[in-house]
């Protein structure tokens, strides 16, 4: 901003007056901005230089004097405001520009590093919280238990849902290291009173081995949820082949092969296993097909397990 300034000193009256006005106002205002009584006789000499000086402590700022006039014992000559030179362009030295660039770059890198560190810390704590588990002592008494963190990583946080059944949702996963594809069934809302009996039964089912039963790889308890890890069946359930409007058509030979396999599986559950296991829910959606379209019976024993939990609930309520 360009302004005009009038600085006047009356030696007889010992009065200093300072008046300013914008450049667009060519006339001197009638009232002074500063009017101060002071005796400058000890400072003013008979012969001395007249000039300008200023200071703003540690701040850096530039001021330009475009024109000035001086007089003693009389009026100062008027300035021709139309002939004032233009304000020179600010040319910052190259070393100062480079220094500012380095400072801004370092500040930006530090800010990005701080954001990255905070983000990694938040994600790590969040993942640790999601995969943390509280294991009770009795759980170690039953075999085939898998760490919850392993199941969480295998399913990538339970992202790929295969379907929903009467006992809960089913998710696809791949076990780390071994690379085995699995189907994880999440059975929710199990009571703490019945959980131990439930785990005992599931653990015993994990010892079953038959070519026409879906093998149970392991189990895990997470809060009130029970996770059952089964082998993955590439061709899905039988109902998707029988009732789907589009897709594969099963021949009579393939259907007979599937029925024969399910019959062998039921025979194993009823007569060949160490104790009788009644499925109670044999239907097309519980018959799964492997890569060679062999019939595998799934969800065996879960109906009886739920009956066990129902009996426990009734005893507790009564």
Question: What's the CATH number where 198 sits?
Answer: 1.10.510.10
Residue 89's contacts (CB-CB under 8 Å, 6 or more residues apart) are none
Q: Are strands 216-222 and 34-37 parallel, antiparallel or unpaired?
A: unpaired
Residue ranges of the annotated binding site are: 186
- Answer yes or no: do 202 and 294 share one domain: yes
Q: Distance between CA atoms of 51 and 65, rounded to whole angstroms?
A: 11
- Answer yes or no: do 215 and 286 share one domain: yes
What are the distances in angstroms from CA 257 to CA 171, 272, 292? Answer: 27, 21, 11
Q: Are strands 181-187 and 161-165 parallel, antiparallel or unpaired?
A: unpaired
- Answer yes or no: do 41 and 128 share one domain: no
- State which residues form the domain around 25: 1-91
Contacts 24+ apart (CB under 8 A), 249-257: 250/293, 254/293, 257/293, 257/294, 257/295
Q: What is the pLDDT of residues 208-233, one digit of tens each?
A: 888 999 888 888 888 777 888 888 99
Residue ranges of the annotated binding site for ATP are: 186
pLDDT of residue 91: 66
- Answer yes or no: do 181 and 79 share one domain: no
- Answer yes or no: do 200 and 186 share one domain: yes
pLDDT of residue 94: 59
The stretches in the chain having pLDDT less than 50 are 191, 193, 305-318
- Answer yes or no: do 121 and 211 share one domain: no
Q: Distance between CA atoms of 196 and 32, rounded to whole angstroms?
A: 94
- Answer yes or no: do 214 and 245 share one domain: yes
pLDDT of residue 318: 42
Number of domains in the chain: 3
Query: Comparing C-alpha atoms, which of 143, 297, 272, 129 is closest to residue 207?
Result: 143
Last residue of a domain, one of 73, 108, 132: 132
Q: Which of 90, 281, 292, 307 is catalytic?
A: 281
pLDDT of residue 176: 84
| pTM for the model | 0.53
- Is residue 281 part of the annotated active site? The answer reads yes
- Answer yes or no: do 69 and 5 share one domain: yes
pLDDT of residue 113: 92
- The Cβ-side half-sphere exposure at 97, using a 13 Å CA radius, reads 5
Q: What is the pLDDT of residues 176-202, one digit of tens each?
A: 888 889 999 887 655 454 566 667 667
- Answer yes or no: do 288 and 148 share one domain: yes
pLDDT of residue 109: 92
Residue 254 has which token pair?
């393939």
- Answer yes or no: do 10 and 48 share one domain: yes
- Answer yes or no: do 201 and 283 share one domain: yes
């Amino acid at each position: 901003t360009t302004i005009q300034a009038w600085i006047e000193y009356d030696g007889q009256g010992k009065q200093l007056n300072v008046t300013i006005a914008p450049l667009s106002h060519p006339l001197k205002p009638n009232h002074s901005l500063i009017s101060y009584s002071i005796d400058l006789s000890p400072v003013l000499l008979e012969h001395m230089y007249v000039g300008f000086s200023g200071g703003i402590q540690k701040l850096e700022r530039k001021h330009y004097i475009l024109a000035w006039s001086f007089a003693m014992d009389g009026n100062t000559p008027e300035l021709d405001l139309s002939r004032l030179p233009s304000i020179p362009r600010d040319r910052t030295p190259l070393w100062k520009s480079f220094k500012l660039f380095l400072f801004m770059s370092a500040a930006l890198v530090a800010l990005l590093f701080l954001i990255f560190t905070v983000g990694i810390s938040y994600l790590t704590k969040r993942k640790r919280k999601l995969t943390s588990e509280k294991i009770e002592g009795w759980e170690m008494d039953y075999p085939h238990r898998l760490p919850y963190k392993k199941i969480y990583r295998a399913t990538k946080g339970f992202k790929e849902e295969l379907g929903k059944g009467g006992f809960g949702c089913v998710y696809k996963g791949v076990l780390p290291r071994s690379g085995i594809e699995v189907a994880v069934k999440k059975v929710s809302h199990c009571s703490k009173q019945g959980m131990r009996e439930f785990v005992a039964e599931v653990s015993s089912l994990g010892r079953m081995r038959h070519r026409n039963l879906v093998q149970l790889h392991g189990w895990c308890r997470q809060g009130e949820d029970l996770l059952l890890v089964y082998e993955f069946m590439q061709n899905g359930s039988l109902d998707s082949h029988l009732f789907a409007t589009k897709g594969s058509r099963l021949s009579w030979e393939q259907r007979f092969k599937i029925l024969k396999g399910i019959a062998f599986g039921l025979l194993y559950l009823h007569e060949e296993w160490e104790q009788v296991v009644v499925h109670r829910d044999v239907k097309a959606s519980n018959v799964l097909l492997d890569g060679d379209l062999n019939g595998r019976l799934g969800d065996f024993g879960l109906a009886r397990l739920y009956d066990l939990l129902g009996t426990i609930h009734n005893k507790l309520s009564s």
